[in-house]
Amino acid sequence: MEEENKQPTVDSDLIEEIDDEEMYELVREAQREALLKARQERLNPKPVRRVPRWIVWIVSLTFLFSSFSFIFQTYSIPAIEFLRTSAKLSMDKDIQLYKKSVVSVVSTDGTGTGFSISSDGEIITNYHVIEGNDEVSVAFPDDGMYTATVEKTFPEIDLALLKVEGENLPYLELAEQPQWEKGDPVFFIGNPLRFLGIANEGTIIDLTLLRDWKDEVLMMKAPVYRGNSGSPVLNEAGQVIGVVFATMNHEEYGKVGLFVPIELFKP
């Protein structure tokens, strides 16, 4: 296919628009400034007339919102939009149920996302999330923290199988023979930019073959950020059809998310 010769640039879980450490430092600074402003206005009211407390809080909240907006505009990411989208999607009872199976994966090198695929504690994540570790920590939204052992790895498709000792854990269903067409809507749930349990949506673009890969992966037009590695991609029936692992700068489609088709995972 034509795209095989283009050799697209893959940013494996790297987001060029923003450094999350710097963003969070700026956010914390904005919060400190807002609290300081509110405190000063309470301690040193204007002598002419007393300002009602509710006005002080409105001003403080407005200042804080303006600070956040400035940060997001400065770094050119649609952060407010993807949080709004997540809030909207999370009102759906099915999405709320799917979230229970999506875990945070913490290794010696950082954090990522994973998801449970059985009631007794089998979890899928990306190989690059756990690479170099025999054990990692995983946290379920409702079922708490577990120590997971790395059972199997599949570096050639950037997947890994983890195992925790648990019973009656929530899990997602893997699509056995997933069917898809260009433009199909998908959902994915993960932990981008240190936010937890963020649900988002996108559309399938097409298959592409990456350099040094023998299997094709799927592209989707969707807001994928650092921390989304290992996020399950779900179809409208709630079945997992793939696993997010990277972003790519595509000549035709621009910045796209990449996910491994779940049928390549054969433990």
In angstroms, how far is the first alpha carbon of the chain from the final one?
29
Residue 217 near residue 207, CB atoms below 8 Å:
yes
- Name the active-site residue from 13, 116, 128, 231: 128
Distance CA(209)–CA(105), nearest Å, equals 28
- Name the active-site residue from 107, 116, 158, 250: 158
Inter-CA distances, 138 with 71, 114, 145, Å: 31, 8, 6
- Name the active-site residue from 60, 86, 229, 231: 229
Tell me whether strands 159-163 and 9-11 are parallel, antiparallel or unpaired: unpaired
- Catalytic residue check, 250: no
- Catalytic residue check, 212: no
- Catalytic residue check, 104: no
Q: What would the DSSP string read from start to end of 71-115?
A: HHHHHT--HHHHHHHHHHHTTSHHHHHHHTTEEEEEETTEEEEEE
Tokens describing residue 93: 């009872």
Residues with a catalytic annotation lie at 128, 158, 229
